[in-house]
Amino acid sequence: MGLDRMQDFLAFLGNPHRAAPVIHVAGTNGKGSTVRILGSVMRQAGFRVGEYTSPHLQQINERIQIAGTPIADGELESLLTEIGAARQTWAAELGEDIPTERVLTYFELITAVAFVAFARAEVDVVIAEVGLGGRLDATNVTDPVITVITNVGIDHTAELGEDLGSIASEKAGIIKPGVPVVMGMVPSEAARVVRAIAHERGALLVCAEEDFMVQPGKDGTFSWTHCGRVEHGLPIGLQGDHQLLNAGVALTVLAMLGDRFPIPDWSHVVQGLAMVSHPGRLERLADDLLVDCAHNVAGANALAEYLRTLPREGGRTLLMGASDDKDPRSMLGPLAGQVDRVLTTHCAHPRATPAGDLAQKLVDVRVPVLPAGPIEEALPLARQDLDQKDDLVIVAGSVFLAGAVRELVGAP
């Protein structure tokens, strides 16, 4: 069946997904950050931008942003009611004995809502993040002007496959005939698959390290090189060297779309890079509290690299949660040497592994591991045990956990 139902439903709604040009972004990690970087720069350049990302941290409104602002509660509620009623009418016309709520998934319904919201807001461009994989993702009904694969790593193996080649094949499913694709740093096994699919579909493939490069500077800035052009001293509003590559991918996308979406002045790029924000990504919520959405090995490696850059003058506690489909031992591996102890926890999400079960999965690692109960109890416990002002609590392992912690501390 593939995407037939999603395409049929959007046609029933008047094809809102075709109202504006689309930049389509896939990848194991960095999709959301790349969307935010692109959105920030394009807004500075004067474009009205619609951004669609998932999952959300605290409120579903975060998934649908217009001109840099999440959709308002009232508008979202009205659209959910309207599109939900349209789904019922459309489902009834199918004449099939299928419960309405199963005709389209929750994610497919929200994706349809996003496209309708963007069409009515008359945005100049939609930057859409793939929810899972790419080939069969609900966002893959668009006819994009460019596609992006930020990277490929091991994650969601039950849905995408056990090896990098299989996962790459699913992500490269967003590549369209004749539509250029920008690819970040990808392991060779996965890169071969992406190259083959791009070649088969006649899509120009632009690759990190071959066609563009980024290099960190000594003052917190970075340089970007593309087609003989070199820009130095670029700022970035996101923490971590891994964000430099996401920024490089975004800048390369913008360069390739220069005829369609011209940037009037380079200062717009600099301002957009400096102002970009993406909560829950190496986010300091307090002097003693760092929150990150790392939820797979690649994310854990990026977090570990960042922690290595910080002075280690006090103790470090990793407050770790994980969804039940994740491999927590592989995530803890790169982080174990950067922390002094691990407290396991869980939030209220139905997929969260209970703290006690998570601790059992982490036995025999090279750092002490203790269960600390639900996050409402674990967070104050972790913070009250700090002995000195240089101590740090690091929250990681789950996007849902990061959102729960932001909620607990009242982060906007």
What would the pLDDT profile of 262-293 be if each residue is shown by its tens digit? 999 999 999 999 999 999 999 999 999 999 99
Residue 39 has pLDDT above 70, yes or no: yes
The pLDDT of residue 156 = 67
> Which pTM does this prediction carry?
0.95
Domain residue limits, the chain: 4-275, 283-408
Residue 107 has pLDDT above 70, yes or no: yes
Q: How far apart are CA 352 and CA 287, in angstroms?
A: 27
Residue 160 has pLDDT above 80, yes or no: no
Q: How confident is the model at residue 386 (pLDDT cuts 50, 70, 90)?
A: confident
In terms of C-beta density within 10 A (0-12 exposed, 13-18 middle, 19 or more buried), how is residue 366 classed? exposed
**What contacts 322, CB < 8 A, 6 or more positions away?**
295, 328, 331, 352, 353, 358, 397, 398
Distances, alpha carbon 339 to alpha carbons 303, 304, 355, 401, in Å: 11, 9, 18, 19
DSSP assignment, residue 236? -
The pLDDT of residue 157 = 65
The pLDDT of residue 220 = 87
Amino acid residing at 16: P
The pLDDT of residue 21 = 98
Range ranked top by mean pLDDT from 88-97, 154-163, 264-273: 264-273
Secondary structure (3-state) at 233: strand
- Give residue-wise pLDDT tens across range 215-266: 999 888 999 999 999 999 999 999 999 999 999 999 999 999 999 999 999 9
- Give residue-wise pLDDT tens across range 5-17: 999 999 999 999 9
Q: For the structural domain made of 283-408, what CATH number should be given?
A: 3.90.190.20
The pLDDT of residue 99 = 66
Amino acid residing at 385: D
Residue 2 has pLDDT above 90, yes or no: no
Q: For the structural domain made of 4-275, what CATH number should be given?
A: 3.40.1190.10
DSSP assignment, residue 207? E
Residue 100 has pLDDT above 70, yes or no: no
CATH topology identical between 4-275 and 283-408: no
Distances, alpha carbon 66 to alpha carbons 47, 127, 215, in Å: 11, 10, 32
How many Cβ atoms sit within 10 Å of the Cβ of residue 312? 13
Residue 106 has pLDDT above 70, yes or no: yes
Alpha-carbon radius of gyration of the chain: 21
Q: How many residues does the chain have?
A: 412
**Residue indicated by tokens 């593939």:** 2
